[in-house]
Amino acid sequence: MRWYLTGVVVSGFGTTAMWLVSGIWVKSLTGSDSLAALTAFALWAPVLLGPLLGTLADRVRRRPLLVVSNAAMAVLLPLLLWVESADRVWLLFAVLVLYGAQGTVHEAAEQALVSAVLDEERLGTFNGLRMTANESMKLIAPLVAAGLFARYGGGPVALLDAATFAVAAGVFALMPVRETRPARPAARHWWRETAEGVRLLRASPVLRPLVATGSVTMLLAGVNGAAIYAVVDGGLGHPPAYAGVLYAVQGAGSVLAGLVAGPLLRRIPELTLAGAGLALFSVAVGVRALPYEATALAASAVIGLGLPWVLVAVVTAVQREAPAEAVGRVAATAHTLVLAPNAVALALGAGLVAVIDVQVLLPLLAVAGAAWAVWLAVRGGGASPRGRTGGRGAWREAFGRGGRRAV
């Protein structure tokens, strides 16, 4: 766990820095709010191929896959030193798409590895600590990245991110984990294996409503994210780099969210935690429409608190419920269903901010999120974690799958 969390901290610092700077970079070169928002869309778009990419995580050993994927990004990112004018922005978008594909594969391999080496009672706590480690980088990385960009431009930030990928690859290589090679079925068919991950997710009464809640949340989060530069520029009257301050405050809320998520998941079901997170997020998005710096900062902190609860709940439920030999595919399918609406909403939001004032758009998002949270509360959060039935045992009985793979 210590080695793994170290890798999360290192790679999370670089990823957060690059994610923030990519939008500022495009904005500074082109002057376009919509193109700046599309950088986030480029990062999220590869999640649409999540089920296909996740199959890879069930075909090979997970730790070597983490090492290779991080090393590949360390080699790729220095190409961005060539992006010095508006006519070269296409290269930045191309690298961001590959960045997103690597992240999708990494997420599937990561969840499958963690599911194999930790017992179910510790998954919630571990995922909360992972969220805290990753999101704590938002306290530092946005400010460092914005400062580097303001003084030296985007190239040094890309090199910094490449270095963090290289270090993360080394840390994952040193993790003291022994894995058995995944069993090879008699007839291997990529599409058939991918479809099985979708079928297993659809068969779970625990995961279906939880993934739907995650999808709604990330749909709203995508539009909210696309509006960030309009909030900073039009609402608060600050330069684009001020977005780094808001993201840093959001990171502080996410640190707290990760610390309390594990204890909460030992007492309440995942769907209840997700509903509470969505409610907090919705209120904060509505408050963000107010043109005051104090409310913008407070809203960012509450968004940072609520949004991670939804994601931690989904990840933990997948790790607890999915059959061991299919965690990668189920995790990647859930990852796609939760994050694909975010990618679509980022593109949609990039157009909406051009025609709808954020003081109208953001309250509409808040009402939609609050309505879904109320529906969850009326519907009920489901059985408690200790009283749950079904899960892996039910799947094995229904589909004849084996138990947890030895690691």
Domain boundaries, the chain: 2-174+193-399
pLDDT beyond 80 at 327: no
Q: What is the pLDDT of residues 141-153, one digit of tens each?
A: 777 887 888 888 8
Q: What is the pLDDT of residues 268-306, one digit of tens each?
A: 888 899 999 999 999 999 998 888 888 889 999 999 899
Query: What SS3 state is found at 166?
Result: helix
Instruction: Give the single-character DSSP code of 153.
Output: -
Phi/psi at 292 (nearest 5 deg)? -125, 140
Higher pLDDT, 183 or 270: 270
Is the separation of the CB atoms in 113 and 62 below 8 Å? Answer: yes
pLDDT beyond 80 at 341: yes
Q: How many CB atoms lie within 10 A of CB 79?
A: 14
Query: What SS3 state is found at 401?
Result: coil
Q: What is the pLDDT of residues 191-236, one digit of tens each?
A: 677 777 678 778 777 888 888 999 999 999 988 888 888 888 777 8
The mean pLDDT value for 369-395 works out to 63
pLDDT at 370: 92
- H helices then E strands: how many in the chain? 17, 0
- The whole-angstrom separation of Cα 77 and Cα 73 is 6
| Tokens matching residue 231 | 């909030």
pLDDT at 79: 92
What is the percent of the chain where pLDDT is above 90?
19
Is the separation of the CB atoms in 107 and 332 below 8 Å? Answer: yes
- The whole-angstrom separation of Cα 142 and Cα 254 is 14
pLDDT at 203: 75
| This model's pTM is above 0.85 | no
- Residue whose pair of structure tokens reads 């595919």 in the numeric block: 329
Q: Determine the residue type at 280.
A: L
- The whole-angstrom separation of Cα 181 and Cα 325 is 11
CATH 1.20.1250.20 for domain 2-174+193-399: yes
Q: What is the pLDDT of residues 85-105, one digit of tens each?
A: 888 889 999 999 999 888 888
Instruction: Give the single-character DSSP code of 86.
Output: G
Q: Residue 106's closest CA among 56, 141, 157, 59?
A: 56
366: pLDDT confidence band, cut at 50, 70 and 90?
Answer: very high
| Tokens matching residue 120 | 């179910």
pLDDT beyond 80 at 368: yes
| Tokens matching residue 199 | 């079928």
